[in-house]
């Protein structure tokens, strides 16, 4: 399975954008003291989902996992979190940024087709 450095860098950037956008979106949803909890909590939740639920021996990651996850579930988690980013950007009024993010996600997964095939075989 290929681990091209450019594609891996794009994946890392997508993950960082996911955390930043979730915090910005959370900031705009709540007023008062709960705003700070939401701004910290949502990115922490997303990072936990991303880091804890992984397929054992996934070569695009360290290969280690806290909770061994079937490949299909891992893809659902990834698509859901990236999908949230697209939706949140639209909700924030940043339609162009949402479309650009979506395009980059599609390009990343296009060049990760070998990983997707591998994940779909993992039970």
Q: What is the pLDDT of residues 77-114, one digit of tens each?
A: 999 999 999 999 999 999 999 999 999 999 999 999 99
Residue recorded with tokens 């007023």: 31
Q: Any idea which residue has 């880091």 for tokens?
A: 51
Q: How far is CA 27 from the centre of its chain?
A: 19
Global pTM?
A: 0.90
Domain limits of the chain? 5-121
Whether 56 and 118 have beta carbons less than 8 Å apart is answered as: no
- pLDDT per position as a tens digit, 51-72: 999 999 887 777 778 899 999 9
């Amino acid at each position: 399975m290929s681990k091209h450095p450019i594609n891996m860098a794009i994946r890392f950037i997508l993950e960082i954008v996911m955390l930043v956008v979730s915090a910005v979106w959370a900031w705009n949803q709540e007023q008062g003291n709960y705003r700070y909890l939401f701004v910290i909590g949502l990115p922490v939740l997303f990072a936990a989902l991303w880091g804890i639920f992984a397929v054992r021996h996934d070569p695009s990651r360290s290969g280690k996992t806290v909770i061994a996850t079937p490949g299909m579930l891992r893809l659902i988690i990834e698509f859901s979190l990236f999908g949230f980013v697209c939706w949140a950007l639209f909700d924030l009024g940043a339609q162009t940024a949402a479309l650009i993010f979506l395009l980059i996600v599609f390009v990343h997964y296009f060049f990760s087709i070998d990983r997707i095939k591998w994940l779909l075989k993992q039970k």
